Amino acid sequence: AKRDGGGVARRFDPVLFAAAEQRRVAEADLMRGLEAGEFEVHYQPIVDLTNGGMTVGVEALVRWRHPKKGLVPPALFLELAEQLGQVPRLGGWVLEEACRQAMDWQVQFPGFELNVNLSASQLGNPKLIDEVREVLVRTGLPPQDLVLELTESVALTDLVESARVLSALKELGVRIALDDFGTGFSSLSHLSTLPVDVVKIDRSFVQAMPETGGASVAEAVMHIARTFNLSPVAEGVEDAGQAERLKELACGRAQGYHFARPMPALGVTELLDKQSAE
């Protein structure tokens, strides 16, 4: 170990060094991937439970098509992208790409809905409102068919500012959904403050629904949604029993592996072709 003037031992720590090195490599790789346009949008169908489970829209979900690692899920790169300040740029690309794609589906299914996730840094970006307006103009997507999803934690960091930005977005005609609803702390008190149209019931509540009888958080959340005139969408529906329960609870919309996994755009096109042939 070397000693500096203060007599403090400063040894070379191979573990720390490796971690820092790994991070530098990951950062450079992500920046390279962004430059090279290695990102894709996949789409998960959203179905109408009151109408035989027909696909009425999709949620856009970003993926990284890595040349060596294959398809990388957002959990493995969004946080780093956020730290590198790249999420507004990546998110802007996702929005435009998804709106363009949704226009294709709208030819066959007018009113086909597109949900797009917004991160905190996008919501905090003063250019967001102009960006959304311009994307709608460029792609021609009817604003009422675009739903912007944000998590409670995002919406609640600065409530006054969030309410202002969301109101401005709503003036464009788009709708707002609160994602992972119920997992945050003070969700209830803020439902009346934020201009929200849709609540997405977090998958943890859907998974916890009892097989038969019994009250559930999912049910309570649906009551709350209706009280505030919000449309509930159940997330993470993984089996027929859950779908059946949700239908009984008159939950209009649902999403989950039971219906379909996120898929490339072509998969949705094929699904809609099949659906229109039925």
> Judged by CB under 5 A, which of 55, 117, 139, 255 binds Ca ion?
117
Query: Which 146-175 residues touch Ca ion, going by CB under 5 A?
Result: 149
Whether residue 72 contacts residue 64, with contact meaning beta carbons closer than 8 Å, is answered with: yes
- Report the DSSP beta bridge partners of residue 199: 178, 232
In the complex with ligand C2E, which residue's Cβ is closer, 192 or 257? 257
Residue 75 within binding range of ligand C2E, rule CB under 6 A: yes
Whether residue 33 contacts residue 26, with contact meaning beta carbons closer than 8 Å, is answered with: no
Whether residue 109 contacts residue 40, with contact meaning beta carbons closer than 8 Å, is answered with: no
Longest CA pairwise span in the chain (Å): 80
Residue 62 within binding range of ligand C2E, rule CB under 6 A: yes
Residue type, 113: E
Q: How far is the CB of 9 from ligand C2E (least distance, A)?
A: 43
Residue 242 binding target from ligand C2E, Ca ion, none, CB below 5 to 8 Å by type: none
Residue 240 within binding range of ligand C2E, rule CB under 6 A: no
Q: Give the torsion sign (CA, 9, 13, 19, 21).
A: positive
How far is residue 82's CA from residue 89's CA, in Å, rounded to a whole number?
Answer: 10
In the complex with ligand C2E, which residue's Cβ is closer, 25 or 76? 76
> Judged by CB under 6 A, which of 19, 28, 73, 226 binds ligand C2E?
73
Query: Which 124-163 residues touch ligand C2E, going by CB under 6 A?
Result: none
Residues 83-92: b if buried by 16+ CB within 10 A, e if exposed:
ebebbbebbb
Residue 113 within binding range of Ca ion, rule CB under 5 A: no
Residue 119 within binding range of Ca ion, rule CB under 5 A: no
